[in-house]
Amino acid sequence: MITLRAASTDDIPLFEAWRKESVVAASDPNDDWDWPQTLAAEGLENLIAELDGRPIGFIQIAQIADLVCDASRSWVSPQPGFMAIDIWIGEESDRSQGHGKAMMQQAIARCFADPAIHTVLIDPPPTKTLASRFSNRMGFRFVEKRRYGDDDRAVYQLPRRDWETARTETSASIAAWAEATFGPASDLTVLTQRARQELDELEEALLAGHSAEAIGEAADVVILLHRVTALLGADLADAVTAKMTINRNRRWRLSGDGVGQHEES
Ligand SMILES: CC(C)(COP(=O)(O)OP(=O)(O)OC[C@H]1O[C@@H](n2cnc3c(N)ncnc32)[C@H](O)[C@@H]1OP(=O)(O)O)[C@@H](O)C(=O)NCCC(=O)NCCS
């Protein structure tokens, strides 16, 4: 599972090793990262992405940014409402496996957790290769090409309304949030017990005729089941799709009140 944690000066040797990797350097060829200064800078959130506790990549969120940049490629003009994300995965063997997507989803969710933020920006090199495809797949829209000093970049933006329309939580994103908020689950049955409590609360809301409350309780049950499924290494939506394929091909013995049991084949 991918989790994000704050980067520290202890991570500097790791950053320097990753920056030597050709694809990472190519994404930012003329930028001379001064790590102690970067880590201490105001308005920047520097995060290490870990895969099951192993550092695999870096995310930087510039908390104040807008579409105006200076020649040194710094996002300037401190207008509220914009955030910019920089992302890279250190080793080739960790790329193209969905980790970048999971990292970016969490970074975007962090940005939009602040209700004042209306737009997230990224600026990969303007090639038709991985970075631009990645930007499009993450829902960003191309805005314009820019030249910062010796660097050509393509600016992409994701407005909040697009993110809200397209947003889909996954078992992994829910589990990452839950672990960051509540800590690791000591045992998966702790989660099923909690889900059972939520299910009881759902039933109480239904018996009381409180529809809106019942919908919220149903979501709480599903959120816990997403976390269990992620910790078992799968995604609940995928598992539901697979199970529905089976269900649609089963023969059912009806109990007469709207549910039933499948017949053994
Ligand atoms: C860009 C980067 C962060 C993407 O992370 P990743 O883990 O490799 O990408 P993912 O496996 O999560 O794939 C996300 C999407 O990118 C695209 N993608 C992934 N690998 C690709 C490849 N080798 N070629 C083309 N597109 C690819 C896919 O469209 C994928 O979406 P889909 O699976 O829904 O079709 C990572 O490759 C990286 O660090 N690259 C070097 C630094 C860089 O270019 N940074 C700028 C990023 S804006």
pLDDT digit of tens for each residue in the chain (265 aa)? 888 999 999 999 999 899 887 777 777 665 667 889 889 988 889 999 999 899 999 999 987 655 555 555 555 545 678 899 999 999 999 999 999 999 999 999 999 988 899 999 998 888 767 778 889 889 999 988 887 777 788 889 999 999 988 877 889 889 999 998 999 999 999 999 999 999 999 999 999 999 999 999 999 999 999 999 999 999 898 899 999 999 999 999 999 999 999 987 6
pLDDT of residue 254: 93
Q: Would you give the DSSP letter of residue 264?
A: P
What is the identity of the amino acid at 211? S
Closest CA to 85 of 118, 56, 59, 64: 59
- CA-to-CA distance for 217 and 204, rounded, in angstroms? 10
What is the identity of the amino acid at 111? C
Which helix (H) or strand (E) segment holds residue 194: the answer is helix 188-207
The CATH superfamily holding the domain 171-262 is MazG-like (1.10.287.1080)
Residue of 58, 134, 142, 143 to test ligand 1 pocket, by largest number of atoms within 8 Å of CB: 134
CB 99 less than 6 A from any atom of ligand 1? yes
Span from the CA of 156 to the centroid of ligand 1 (angstroms): 15
- CA-to-CA distance for 247 and 257, rounded, in angstroms? 18
CB 136 less than 6 A from any atom of ligand 1? no
Q: What is the pTM of this model?
A: 0.75
CB 127 less than 6 A from any atom of ligand 1? no
The string of pLDDT tens digits covering residues 157-171 is: 999 999 988 877 889
Q: Which CATH topology does 2-166 take? A: Aminopeptidase (3.40.630)
Domain segments of the chain: what residues? 2-166, 171-262
pLDDT of residue 79: 60
117, 111 Cβ separation under 8 angstroms: yes
Whole-angstrom CA distances from 142 to 119, 156, 158 are: 13, 4, 9
pLDDT of residue 29: 62
Q: Residue 15 class from Cβ within 10 Å (0-12 exposed, 13-18 middle, 19+ buried)?
A: buried
Q: Would you give the DSSP letter of residue 94?
A: G
What is the identity of the amino acid at 168? T
52: region left, alpha or beta (phi > 0 left; psi from -120 to 50 alpha): left
CB 60 less than 6 A from any atom of ligand 1? no
Nearest Cα residue to atom 2 of ligand 1: 100
83, 75 Cβ separation under 8 angstroms: no
Specify the pairing of strand 119-122 against strand 82-89: parallel
- CA-to-CA distance for 249 and 165, rounded, in angstroms? 33
Whole-angstrom CA distances from 114 to 52, 61, 67, 109, 160 are: 27, 13, 19, 9, 11
What is the identity of the amino acid at 255? S
51, 1 Cβ separation under 8 angstroms: yes
CB 139 less than 6 A from any atom of ligand 1? no
Span from the CA of 134 to the centroid of ligand 1 (angstroms): 5
CB 95 less than 6 A from any atom of ligand 1? yes
User: What is the token pair recorded at 138?
Assistant: 């993450």
